[in-house]
Structure 1
Amino acid sequence: MDIRDVEVIAPNFKRRLSGVTSTIVQLLPLQAKTIGIATIGPDVLPRAVPRLPYSALSGLWRRPRTRPFRIWHARRNIEMLAGLVLRDVLRMPLRLVFTSAAQRRHTGWTRFLIRRMDAVVATSTRSAAYLTVPHRVVMHGIDLSAFSPDGPPPEGDIAERLAGRKVVGCSGRIRHQKGTDLFVDAMITLLPRFPEWTAVVTGRTTSEHRDFEAELLERIAAAGLSDRILFTGEVDDIAAWFRRFDLYVAPPRNEGFGLTPLEAMASGVPVVASDAGAFRDLIVEGGTGRVVPAGDAPALSAAIEPFLADDALRLRAGRDALDHVRRHFPLEREAAELRAVYEALWEDG
């Protein structure tokens, strides 16, 4: 992209996949249809995401063609710090926006950075409660063309083994924080009473969590359920797996925002989730699914059980989930609300 046409820069300074990275990957190609926007950082994102090389930073002293300044939209501390250096040290014509998803009191360093932003966005009412500066809540949306009930099913040996089975799924990195053990414990409790169901866990296990995964696999084997609680590892097409799930469980102990319940509901799948991240803002309790206290394994099992036992309940909740996401959480709504934040800054000059 010609730097003179770039109105907003959304830096991505992390190499590994994260929730923030996933947001940028989904959101920027849509935003680029209406504003000049690009990311900058390590070359790890798909080609569909508009990006600038680091060498383009020298062009930030020049204003864009049609705006009085550019907007630097940070989502991490390091990106806020970079924006401050560019604006306050190098005196580049920038305004700084920060999106906060944290569900806890910010550190003193983060609060220092946030106070120097020109605008602040919170991703949920819960994250907004931890902010002490003026802000606007803009909840994430979901790409309804990528996540929907229509599309190909997953492929591979595990997918073939699930033919004719009902599937309860859990997706995310395998670690204590994500509550993978809570899901496994619930399945060990419930699956012996529901022989038509199989559990599938998708997600990567990093080296520091290999022992945690090994312990879970030992517990599953001891329960005689190794053929009914399956770990796929990281998958190439998670949307296909959401279409294959009949029920989705999101059990993290803590979370920033958490997109997977939206991805499941957009696929027509009801969700049982812990009260972490923004899940209580996403799920209609008793309608599109259930929300239980984070870390409460018995409550998680009790909330899952009716969906395994009652096909009519589960199918009705899945229909309601699909309608709910299509009405309230399209990615276009998020893009429009962020654009309003940018436009307010440009109007104020």
Structure 2
Amino acid sequence: MSNVEVIAPNFKRKLSGVTSTIIQLVPLQRAQGLKIVTMGPGLPADLPSIGWSALPGLWFKPKNRPFRIWHARRNNEMIAGILMRHVLRMRLRLLFTSAAQRDHRPFTKWLIRRMNAVIATSGKSGSYLKVPHTVILHGIDTELFHPPRNDDDRFAASGLPGRYLVGCSGRIRPSKGTDLFVDAMINLLPHYPEWTAVMTGRTTAEFKGFEQTLRDRIAKAGLEDRILFLGEVPDVRPWYRRMTLYVAPSRNEGFGLTPLEAMASQTAVVASDAGAYAEMIEPGTGTVVPAGDGRALEQALAPYLADPAMCEEAGKLALAHVHQNFPLQKEAGRIGEVYERLFAAGLKS
């Protein structure tokens, strides 16, 4: 404990986007020289971590810092930090990362006001905060998500009809806009016979009826062989690389990484303005439409389906854009700058 500078708690056993963020960031942060550990369930065994038995060490400052930073990402983690700092008087400063794109409940606002610093994962989420904050958008691992490299990354490996693939990824449900994608494909694909559409993602029990309704629409249009539900695929990354065009039609999102994953795969993107999508996509790298507007989505998709070369050019620009602005290392570095500002402020106080 004497060397630990930052603690990243994870007070949720089930895998979530927050958990995934911690799993990806902590090894990079340690590689950048930060002495950070995790705490809580649902994390890989190879991540450096501490248990509850280590908490008495928080009454003592670390070897080379005036205090430790408790980096919370959920309400229950903020509560724990407040109890340890303000009730138990442990040597901590509190940092919260907010991804919510809605007005916070009064209790959450109360918790946030007791943080020493706040990070927002997008400008949109930051607009709901009533405290000073730093906007740091998520990044992605550009080694894991990359352009096609071999035959398995090409459309032909899919075994699907046509020459070009358009797709979306995510759970099959209204909030993800799956129906908007299906309706657009039903209207567009008859005009573009070289294209096939796929959806990757799981359908939970409560949305089986929703999926069946979409399947019925597809069957009525006679497009069962060209608009396909692939279910939860073992690895979505090759599918990004096989796609010529990726669609993110969500009605609402917390942040939403799939457009970045597709762009890092050199795939053009059409997305709604849900989540942080509009903050990821620049002119030339793709197109953004109003969330929930099926007509606008269809109109945005048509030029790409009509001109695959347009997709190819947008994909190249998207790849360069992601590598410059959204590598995971950049996110880790900017979070590190927030940590250092907190440590520096502690030395002055």
Distance across 2 between alignment mates of 1:242 and 1:192: 23
Displacement after TM superposition at 1:115 (Å): 0.4
Q: Which residue of 2 aligns with 1:297?
A: 294
Distance across 2 between alignment mates of 1:154 and 1:73: 40
User: Which ranges of structure 2 fall in alignment gaps of 5 or more residues?
Assistant: none
After superposition, residues 103-142 of structure 1 pair within 5 angstroms as: 103-142=101-140
After superposition, residues 149-188 of structure 1 pair within 5 angstroms as: 149-151=147-149, 160-162=158-160, 165-188=163-186
Contact persistence 1:179–1:252 (CA under 8 A): yes
Contact persistence 1:274–1:293 (CA under 8 A): yes
Code of the aligned partner of 1:77: N
Partner SS, residue 39 of structure 1: strand
Contact persistence 2:148–2:242 (CA under 8 A): no
Q: Which residue of 1 aligns with 2:257?
A: 259
Displacement after TM superposition at 1:294 (Å): 0.4
Contact persistence 1:124–1:278 (CA under 8 A): yes
1:217 aligns with 2:215: yes
Query: How many residues are aligned here?
Result: 343
Residues 150-206 of structure 1, C-alpha deviation per residue, up to 9 Å, x if partnerless?
456769xx9642276311111112211111111111111111211211111111222
Displacement after TM superposition at 1:57 (Å): 3.1
After superposition, residues 197-276 of structure 1 pair within 5 angstroms as: 197-276=195-274
Partner SS, residue 51 of structure 1: coil
Code of the aligned partner of 1:323: A
The TM-score normalised by the length of structure 2 is: 0.92
Code of the aligned partner of 2:247: V
Contact persistence 1:153–1:241 (CA under 8 A): no
Distance of aligned partners of 1:243 and 1:289 in 2 relative to their CA distance in 1, 3 Å threshold: same
Q: After alignment, is 267-276 or 63-72 more displaced? A: 63-72
Q: After alignment, is 89-98 or 52-61 more displaced? A: 52-61
Distance of aligned partners of 1:21 and 1:223 in 2 relative to their CA distance in 1, 3 Å threshold: farther
Distance across 1 between alignment mates of 2:35 and 2:232: 33
Q: After alignment, is 334-343 or 238-247 more displaced? A: 238-247
Partner SS, residue 271 of structure 2: strand
Distance across 1 between alignment mates of 2:258 and 2:164: 19
Partner SS, residue 290 of structure 1: strand
**1:311 corresponds to which of 308, 311, 319:** 308
1:38 aligns with 2:4: no
Code of the aligned partner of 1:307: Y
Distance of aligned partners of 1:143 and 1:90 in 2 relative to their CA distance in 1, 3 Å threshold: same
After superposition, residues 54-133 of structure 1 pair within 5 angstroms as: 54-133=52-131
User: Which ranges of structure 1 fall in alignment gaps of 5 or more residues?
Assistant: none
The TM-score normalised by the length of structure 1 is: 0.92
- Aligned alpha-carbon RMSD (Å): 2.0
Contact persistence 1:98–1:120 (CA under 8 A): yes
Residues 84-127 of structure 1, C-alpha deviation per residue, up to 9 Å, x if partnerless?
12222222211111111122111111111110111001111111
Distance across 2 between alignment mates of 1:325 and 1:82: 36
Q: After alignment, is 53-62 or 229-238 more displaced? A: 53-62
Distance across 2 between alignment mates of 1:54 and 1:307: 54
Partner SS, residue 169 of structure 1: strand
Displacement after TM superposition at 1:130 (Å): 1.0
Partner SS, residue 177 of structure 1: helix
Contact persistence 1:154–1:237 (CA under 8 A): no
Partner SS, residue 145 of structure 2: coil
Displacement after TM superposition at 1:54 (Å): 3.8
Residues 120-161 of structure 1, C-alpha deviation per residue, up to 9 Å, x if partnerless?
011111111111111111111111111111456769xx9642
Displacement after TM superposition at 1:6 (Å): 2.2
Contact persistence 1:19–1:259 (CA under 8 A): no
1:28 aligns with 2:31: no
Distance of aligned partners of 1:38 and 1:316 in 2 relative to their CA distance in 1, 3 Å threshold: same
Distance across 1 between alignment mates of 2:67 and 2:161: 56
Residues 7-27 of structure 1, C-alpha deviation per residue, up to 9 Å, x if partnerless?
111122223333222222221
Distance of aligned partners of 1:300 and 1:36 in 2 relative to their CA distance in 1, 3 Å threshold: same
Distance of aligned partners of 1:218 and 1:75 in 2 relative to their CA distance in 1, 3 Å threshold: same
Contact persistence 2:7–2:38 (CA under 8 A): yes
Q: Which residue of 2 aligns with 1:53?
A: 51
